C-alpha cells in the first residue's frame, strides 16, 4: 500500500478516517484506476460509496474525459433505457427529437451507475452487452452504436440474494464484480466516528457562526457504542442538530443519548411474514416509502368499501331490481332506429260545419321514411354523409334505404 497516494486521495476528496479497511479500499481504487477493469462498490447506505468512482476517474487515463454519475434508482423504469442509451425521433410518444444517452455522452470517460441493483431486467441485458463489446442500440433504432467508457457501479443490496430472488442477472453480477471494493460501515470504523463527528461540528460552527461543541468522555463513549444504522449521513445530521440546538457547548452522555434514536427505530416498518428480529429483510428508503403508500391505499380502499356497503344498504330495494351483467355478451343490444314525430296536417275550412265529412288519409311508415330521407337530402344538398348524420342513421343504412325506395 502506497500511504502517500492514499493520503493524497483522502485530502483531495475530504475523506476522514484511519480505519485499515477503509484505507485498503482507497488503495484498491487507486490501483485499479490505472486499468479499464469494471469495479463494483458495495456497502451500506450512507457510508460514502460515491467518493470511490471519483478516485478511480481522477487517477485514470480517462481523467480528462467526462465523468457522469447516474442514480439508477431515481429514474422511472419506463424511461431508464432512453436515459442510458438514448432514443431516436418518434421512438415513443413525446420523442419529438433524437437524444443521446449517458453512454454516448460519457464516451472516452467514466460512467458511475449508483444503485445498479434497481435496474430492470431488460436494461440489465442491455448493460451486459455494453460491458462485453461496447455496443448498444438506441431506443427505437436498429443501428448498432459503439461506446468506449469505464463503468463503475455501486449498490447497497446483497446481490447474491437478489440473484436468488430473480431480481438481478447472475452473468451481469460476475461481469460487474471484476474488482470488488467493500466500504466498511461506520460502526466498524472505531475511532473514526469521533474524528468525523468533530469534523462536522467544526464545519457547522463555521457555517452558522456559533461556538464549536465539545464532547466529554461520556459523550464519546455514547457515540462509539451506537450502531449508526444511517452511517455517515446520520452522524452528520446529528452533529448539525447539536450544533444548532444545544446552548451548553460541552455535551455529556445524557445529552447525546437524547439525539441518538433507538436501534429498533425500523421496528414499525413492514416485514415479510414469518421473519423475526435479525432475520428481518432490509429495505432501501425508496421501498419503505412504497410500502407506506401501499398500506395507505389499502386503508383508503377499506374505507371506500364501508361507504359502498352503507350506500347499498340505504338503497337496497333499488339495487335488488337493478340488472347486473357479468358478461358483455349477456347485455341486450338495442338497435337505435330513427324516430319520426308526425304532426297531423289539419286544414281549416270555415264553410265546413260537419267534421265527419273529412277522413284523415292514412299514411304508411314507408312513405314517411321516404319523405324524411328526401327532405334530409334536399336540406344537405345531396350530401349523403350529412343527411345520414341528421337522420341519426349510418351511411350504410342510408344507402340501403335509397336503393330500396329508388331515390335518385
Q: Measured between alpha carbons, how far is 405 from 367 in angstroms, rounded to an integer?
A: 9
pLDDT, position 304: 84
pLDDT, position 122: 92
Q: How far is CA 238 from CA 114, 256, 259, 334, in A?
A: 25, 9, 7, 71
Q: Partners of 251 in the beta sheet?
A: 215
Cell of 171: 452473468
Give CATH superfamily name and number for 3-184.
P-loop containing nucleotide triphosphate hydrolases (3.40.50.300)
CATH architecture assignment, domain 358-405: Orthogonal Bundle (1.10)
- What does the domain layout of the chain look like in residue ranges? 3-184, 187-263, 358-405
**φ/ψ (deg, to 5) at 68:** -120, 125
User: What CATH number should be reported for the domain whose range is 187-263?
Assistant: 1.10.8.60
pLDDT, position 323: 56
pLDDT per residue rounded down to tens, the chain (408 residues): 778 899 999 999 999 999 999 999 999 999 999 999 999 999 999 999 999 999 999 999 999 999 999 999 999 888 899 999 999 888 888 878 888 999 999 999 999 999 999 999 999 999 999 999 999 989 988 889 999 999 999 999 999 999 999 999 999 999 999 999 999 999 999 999 999 999 999 999 999 999 999 999 999 999 999 999 999 999 999 999 999 998 888 889 999 999 998 754 444 444 444 443 444 444 445 656 666 777 778 778 888 888 888 787 777 655 455 555 545 455 555 444 455 444 544 444 444 444 444 334 445 677 778 888 888 888 888 888 888 888 888 888 888 888 888 886
Q: How far is CA 144 from CA 85, 110, 136, 141, in A?
A: 11, 21, 6, 8
Vertex 257: Cα angle to 202 and 271 (nearest 5): 110
Vertex 118: Cα angle to 115 and 124 (nearest 5): 105
Longest dimension (CA), the chain: 129
Amino acid at each position: 500500500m502506497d500511504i502517500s497516494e492514499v493520503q493524497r486521495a483522502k485530502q483531495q476528496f475530504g475523506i476522514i478516517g484511519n480505519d485499515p479497511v477503509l484505507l485498503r479500499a482507497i488503495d484498491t481504487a487507486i490501483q485499479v484506476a490505472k486499468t479499464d477493469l469494471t469495479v463494483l462498490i458495495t456497502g451500506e447506505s450512507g457510508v460514502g460509496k460515491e467518493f470511490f468512482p471519483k478516485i478511480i476517474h481522477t487517477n485514470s487515463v480517462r481523467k480528462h474525459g467526462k465523468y457522469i454519475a447516474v442514480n439508477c434508482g431515481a429514474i422511472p423504469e419506463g424511461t431508464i433505457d432512453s436515459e442510458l442509451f438514448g432514443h431516436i425521433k418518434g421512438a415513443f410518444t413525446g420523442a419529438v427529437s433524437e437524444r443521446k444517452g449517458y453512454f454516448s455522452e460519457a464516451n472516452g470517460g467514466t460512467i458511475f451507475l449508483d444503485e445498479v441493483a434497481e435496474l430492470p431486467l431488460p436494461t440489465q441485458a442491455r448493460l451486459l452487452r455494453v460491458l462485453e463489446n461496447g455496443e448498444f442500440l438506441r431506443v427505437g433504432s436498429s443501428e448498432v452504436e459503439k461506446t468506449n467508457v469505464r463503468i463503475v457501479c455501486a449498490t447497497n443490496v446483497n446481490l447474491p440474494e437478489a440473484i436468488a430472488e430473480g431480481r438481478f442477472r447472475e452473468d451481469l453480477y460476475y461481469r460487474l464484480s471484476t474488482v470488488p471494493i467493500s466500504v466498511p460501515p461506520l460502526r466498524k470504523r472505531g475511532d473514526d466516528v469521533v474524528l468525523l463527528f468533530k469534523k462536522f461540528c467544526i464545519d457547522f460552527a463555521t457555517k452558522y457562526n456559533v461556538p464549536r461543541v465539545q464532547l466529554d468522555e461520556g459523550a464519546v463513549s455514547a457515540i462509539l457504542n451506537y450502531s449508526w444504522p444511517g452511517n455517515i449521513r446520520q452522524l452528520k445530521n446529528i452533529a448539525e442538530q447539536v450544533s444548532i440546538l444545544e446552548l451548553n457547548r460541552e455535551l455529556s452522555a445524557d445529552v447525546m443519548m437524547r439525539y441518538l434514536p433507538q436501534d429498533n427505530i425500523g421496528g414499525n416498518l413492514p416485514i415479510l411474514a414469518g421473519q423475526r428480529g435479525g432475520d428481518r429483510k432490509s429495505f432501501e428508503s425508496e421501498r419503505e416509502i412504497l410500502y407506506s403508500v401501499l398500506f395507505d391505499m389499502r386503508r383508503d380502499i377499506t374505507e371506500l368499501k364501508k361507504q359502498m356497503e352503507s350506500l347499498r344498504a340505504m338503497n337496497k330495494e333499488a339495487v335488488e331490481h337493478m340488472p347486473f351483467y357479468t358478461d358483455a355478451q349477456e347485455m341486450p343490444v338495442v338497435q337505435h332506429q330513427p324516430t319520426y314525430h308526425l304532426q297531423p296536417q289539419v286544414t281549416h275550412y270555415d264553410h265546413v260545419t260537419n267534421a265527419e265529412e273529412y277522413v284523415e288519409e292514412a299514411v304508411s311508415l314507408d312513405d314517411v321514411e321516404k319523405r324524411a330521407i328526401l327532405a334530409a337530402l334536399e336540406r344537405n344538398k345531396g350530401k349523403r354523409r350529412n343527411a345520414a348524420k341528421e337522420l341519426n342513421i349510418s351511411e350504410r343504412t342510408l344507402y340501403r334505404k335509397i336503393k330500396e325506395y329508388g331515390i335518385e
